Structure formats: C-alpha cells, structure tokens
C-alpha cells in the first residue's frame, strides 16, 4: 500500500507542476530565468515527440502514449521487488506521459517553454519531459542494479 501511495503522490505531483507551469509560462514573454543557462521561451507548440520527431502525428502519439501508459502498469504488476526509488521513477514516467497526453488530447500539441541558453541546438521542452527523462534514468538504474536482488539474496539463504 505504501508503494501505491508513493506512486500516486509522484504522479499527482508531476501533473500539478507540469500543468501549472504550462498554464502560467507558455504564453509569457521570453525572459532569462538564469542568465546564459535557462530561459523561458514563448509559445513553442510541439506537434511531435522528443526532438521534433514525428511532427504532426498527434493522433499516433496519443495512441502510443496510451499504450505505453498501459504497458507500464502491466510491467508494474509483474515487478515483485518494489522500492521507494522504483515507485518514484514509475510515478515520474507516468505523470510526465499523462501531462503531455493531456496537452495532445485537448490542444493537439504539447506546450514547451524551457530553453537551454548554453545549448542552443537542444529542443525546447517542459517539466513533463524533464520528469519523464529523470524517471526513465531512475527506472533503468533500478532494472539494471536492483531488480530481483532481494529475491536473489533470499534464495541464497
């Protein structure tokens, strides 16, 4: 039960941060948040996926997002060794995916507004993207280094 509370709180936390920042920052004038590091860009609607791939494929991306969210919950069902680290990573991924899915469903594009001044060729992104990436790295670390370790140690005793 504690793991589900962590997952639900992580998903809700990501959604709150993502949707509030999109609402308030998407249409503001361009400004430097941290000079020469991060700026808030103006009105970058992304009809594609990461790095502008699959532009103008909103319907396909909606379907893929829904399938991936369902697949994550199926994966979660089969993961026997769950930690707080795992639960947070799962919540970050699902919350980020839902945040961008909401934009695609209601607007037809994803609202991006964070611009890295020190890396001008890097695409504009949002907090859902950030949480998705952090969650994916955390999940990869969990799968590579922790998944099944508890069971392995118990079976040796």
Domain count within the chain: 1
DSSP for residue 52: G
> Which domain does 86 fall in, by range?
2-156
Residue 112 is among the residues annotated as catalytic for this protein = yes
- pTM attached to this predicted model: 0.88
Give the SS3 label for residue 22: helix
Residue 113 pLDDT level (bands cut at 50, 70, 90): very high
> Which candidate in 18, 56, 103, 112 is catalytic?
112
Mean confidence (pLDDT) of the chain: 89
CA 98 to chain centre: 8
First-residue to last-residue Cα distance in the chain: 27
What's residue 152's pLDDT?
44
pLDDT (mean) for 97-119? 95
Q: Is 103 labeled as catalytic in the residue annotation?
A: no
Q: Catalytic one among 18, 56, 117, 129?
A: 129
d(CA 114, CA 104): 18
Please compute the mean of the pLDDT values over residues 12-35 and round it to a whole number: 91
User: Which band of pLDDT confidence, cut at 50, 70 and 90, is reported for residue 154?
Assistant: very low
* 60 sits in which H/E element: helix 58-78
Place of tokens 């611009």: 115
Check: CB of residue 21 under 8 Å from CB of residue 134: no
Given this model, what pLDDT does residue 101 score?
Answer: 97
* Sheet with 110-116: strands ordered across: 31-34, 38-46, 110-116
Comparison of pLDDT for 57 and 90, the residue scoring more: 90
Q: What is the mean pLDDT of residues 110-131?
A: 93
């Amino acid at each position: 039960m504690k793991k589900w509370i962590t997952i639900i709180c992580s998903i809700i936390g990501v959604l709150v941060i993502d949707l509030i920042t999109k609402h308030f920052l998407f249409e503001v004038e361009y400004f430097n948040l941290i000079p020469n590091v991060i700026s808030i860009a103006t009105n970058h609607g992304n009809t594609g996926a990461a790095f502008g791939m699959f532009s103008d494929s909103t319907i396909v991306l909606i379907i893929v997002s829904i399938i991936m969210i369902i697949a994550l919950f199926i994966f979660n069902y089969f993961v026997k060794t769950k930690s707080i680290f795992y639960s947070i990573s799962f919540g970050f991924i699902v919350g980020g995916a839902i945040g961008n899915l909401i934009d695609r469903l209601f607007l037809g594009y994803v609202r991006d507004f964070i611009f890295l001044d020190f890396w001008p060729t890097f695409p504009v992104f949002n907090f859902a993207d950030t949480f998705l990436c952090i969650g994916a790295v955390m999940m990869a670390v969990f799968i590579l280094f922790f998944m099944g370790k508890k069971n392995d140690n118990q079976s040796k005793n």
